[in-house]
Amino acid sequence: MAHLNLRLPLYAAVAAAYLSIACAPAHASECLQRALAGADTSRSTAHAFDFYTGNWNVRMRQRKVDANLRAASAWVTFDATVTVHRLFQGAGFFEEYRLNKPGGTKFAVGSRLYNPQSNQWKIYWANKNDGQWEEPPATGGVLTQDGIDFIYDDTWGSRPVLTRYRWTTQDPNHPVWQQAFSGNCGATWTANWTMEFSRK
């Protein structure tokens, strides 16, 4: 996740990601299809992030996960701040993170863009060390009773896995995000990162 120079238009920062929405193939592994079985994908997710614009304080927790997707360390807790900019009349967002990690301050950016034709979001992240969007992006989005879930095909090392981003947004001023991985088509999940937001 990289700290972009925002003197340039925000649209330029997300242009490549925006173009890929229309070009990406509609493909999902058998494992992903199993994990999403029973999910109601018919409801529009266009307004799932209407709460997100603004300035936030964030309590982050991270831990290591081993090659077998088992927790491999204790949780480490640290603070962060994020500023979220609304784009495309709510069909996109650009995020600037400042992470006050124990080893020093880190900067991160993200973008999320909605495709009304497929009713899917794409979420991209970049860090300062790599200077490019991470692949693959989190793609999809299914509304839940508590918010919205993103479950997508990914890899952990060389192993195919599912990654899940889970947003709990019942309190729009204190949403919670969790990242977790599954190696058994969603039967069980191992979390390695959580973020608890508080609006400034």
Specify the pLDDT at position 27. 54
Query: Is the pLDDT reported for residue 10 higher than 80?
Result: no
Q: Where are the domains of the chain?
A: 10-199
pLDDT in tens, 106-136: 999 999 999 999 999 999 999 888 788 988 7
Give percent above pLDDT 70 in the chain.
86
Q: What is residue 178's three-state secondary structure? A: strand
The pTM score is 0.84
Structural contact between residues 106 and 121, judged by C-beta atoms closer than 8 angstroms:
no
DSSP annotation of 176 reads E
Query: Smallest Cα–Cα separation from 123: which of 1, 33, 36?
Result: 1
**Which residues are registered as beta bridge partners of 177?**
167, 195
Structural contact between residues 134 and 153, judged by C-beta atoms closer than 8 angstroms:
no
What is the DSSP annotation of 63-122? --B-TTS-B-S--EEEEEEEEEEEEGGGTEEEEEEEEEETTEEEEEEEEEEEETTTTEEE
Fold topology of 10-199: Lipocalin (2.40.128)
